[in-house]
Chain A
Amino acid sequence: MVAVRGLRKRFGRLDVLKGIDLRVPRGGAVALIGPSGSGKSTLLRCINLLDTPDAGSVRVGDRRLDFDGRRRLPPDREMAAFRARAGMVFQGFNLFPHMSVIDNVMSGPVVVKGVKRDVARPMALSLLDRVGLAGKAGDHPASLSGGQKQRVAIARALAMEPEVMLFDEATSALDPKLVGEVLAVIRDLARGGMTTVLVTHEMAFARDVADRVAFMRDGVVVEEGPARQVIEDPREPATRTFLGHFHGGRSAPAAP
């Protein structure tokens, strides 16, 4: 479903990803954990081509793009079509401040797919209902709490009917009180069969929601395996050291 092979990415002289292999089967949920600067977010952004890989290949569904640094990048239109197949949720929400909540959710279908507004609206409303925010359709993002903003952002990504959802530290910018409501939505999605890749510092959440966990450090996947095993009984010393900071998987959010 999602397959990353030999993925490399460098920013200037900094090697951020040093050959990553990762597979997420259809309906699977993989959590990426690891210290800051380990390349988790960059890996997620490369899956969605927000950062362009230098080498390797990325497959989402039946479409695969290969990168080797020398070849020209695919044209803008093709990159955009590829990105449309993956939904992404950001740490900073990134809602469009000049649009109402419902227009945010409709923006993908209307702008990208050219769906008529009166067709997109009921679908957007049902998505807002699904994240518990049907009553906020006409509001502006600025009037929402962080947790509400993030739930709108999830609905906006879902409106594109993506084949995979990518969560980039979706709860790291939230007030601890508001983390739960967002995690609940992500959990429902993953349990409902949505293919999911999530970067998180919530170890308990990763263990509960993900089928598999990949521990990254310094641009490589150090250890990958069933979620419970990696988090509760890691094989690699580096994983053990990292998880030691979390006291065996507490649920409070860690510093990003």
Chain B
Amino acid sequence: MHYEWDFGFLWQYRGLIGIGIAYTVGFTLLTSVLGFLAGAVIALGRIAGRPWMAAPLVALMEVFRCTPVLVQLVWIYYALPVLVGVELSPAAAAVITLSLYGGAFYAEIIRGGIRGVEPGQWDAGRALGMTRAKLMRSVVLPQALRRMVPPLVNQTILQLKNTSLVSTLAVPDLLYQGQLITSATYRPLEVYTMVAVVYFAILLPLTQLARLLETRPSRVAA
């Protein structure tokens, strides 16, 4: 089988590709931050809140953990507006979905990180007279965050890859721009190779960072 590879034509689409990368990275940053906040609310609500507070948070989390993100995306874009009577732009639907989907996983990472802090640390902070909020801020979270960083980086890597699904709603991310270029040039092999290489080039440094954080010796508990 013979195929003439020719990547040269991609240069003329650099503008489109640049927009695609910007959307992909932008959606990742936005939905990671919002997802982390959603996850923090869910995790802290479960740890510190009353049972009536925790139950709906857990339910929401399990819905997003146990359904495919593509199904969520389509459902929130088409079905949610019918339920609540508010029109959603594709970008808004994408941000909501990816933030909540990421939040469901971030929540478990955050909860695990907090639960991983030794009970003696809570005792020591409380014995000094710290209120719950001060104990969290000064003693528990600084130690928990350190443990959470590697899994948070990993989840954020998944988060970036999941942004490729927003192309199904015609949000112009990297994959969607690739589809546009393909339909204009009929050269899917080069286009999707380029798309894969760009994702790889963005994510490889992140995975290396995650590995570095995992292997760094953690301080022995005092």
Give A contacts to B, CB under 8 Å.
48, 50, 76-77, 80-81, 83-88, 90, 92-98, 107-108, 111-112, 140-142, 144, 149, 153, 156-157, 160
Interface residues on B, range: 20 to 34
Decide yes or no: A92 and B220 within 8 Å by CB, A80-B129, A108-B128, A112-B134 being known contacts.
no
B143 in complex: contacting residue of A77, A97, A141, CB < 8 Å: A97
The 12 sampled A-B contact pairs (Cβ below 8 Å) are A83-B128, A83-B129, A93-B120, A96-B124, A97-B219, A98-B142, A108-B128, A111-B138, A140-B222, A149-B222, A157-B127, A160-B128
- B222 closest partner in A (C-beta): A141
B residues 74-121 in Cβ contact with A at 8 Å: 118, 120-121
Decide yes or no: A112 and B222 within 8 Å by CB, A94-B120, A98-B142 being known contacts.
no
For the complex, give the distance between the alpha carbons of A107 and B135 in Å: 11
Decide yes or no: A140 and B219 within 8 Å by CB, A92-B120, A112-B134 being known contacts.
yes
B131 within 8 A of A: yes
Listed from nearest, the 3 A-B pairs whose CB atoms lie closest are A84-B129, A141-B222, A94-B124
For the complex, give the distance between the alpha carbons of A81 and B142 in Å: 23
Distance in Å: Cβ of A171 to nearest Cβ of chain B: 16
Instruction: Kindly supply a per-residue 1/0 record for chain B positions 142-155, scoring 1 wherever the CB is within 8 Å of any chain A CB and 0 otherwise.
Output: 11001000000000
Quick check: A94 and B123 within 8 Å, CB to CB?
Answer: yes
- B145 closest partner in A (C-beta): A98
**CB-defined contacts of B213 to chain A, threshold 8 Å:** none
**CB-defined contacts of A144 to chain B, threshold 8 Å:** 222
B211 within 8 A of A: no
**CB-defined contacts of B125 to chain A, threshold 8 Å:** 96
**CB-defined contacts of B128 to chain A, threshold 8 Å:** 83-84, 107-108, 111-112, 156-157, 160
A83 in complex: contacting residue of B120, B127, B143, B219, CB < 8 Å: B127
B54 within 8 A of A: no
For the complex, give the distance between the alpha carbons of A218 and B74 in Å: 63
For the complex, give the distance between the alpha carbons of A142 and B218 in Å: 11
Decide yes or no: A108 and B129 within 8 Å by CB, A97-B222, A98-B143, A142-B219 being known contacts.
yes
Quick check: B123 and A76 within 8 Å, CB to CB?
Answer: no
16 more A-B contacts (CB under 8 A) besides A90-B123, A96-B139?
A77-B131, A80-B130, A80-B131, A81-B129, A83-B128, A86-B127, A93-B222, A94-B121, A94-B124, A97-B219, A98-B146, A98-B219, A111-B130, A111-B138, A140-B219, A144-B222
For the complex, give the distance between the alpha carbons of A84 and B134 in Å: 13
Distance in Å: Cβ of B56 to nearest Cβ of chain A: 23
For the complex, give the distance between the alpha carbons of A94 and B139 in Å: 11
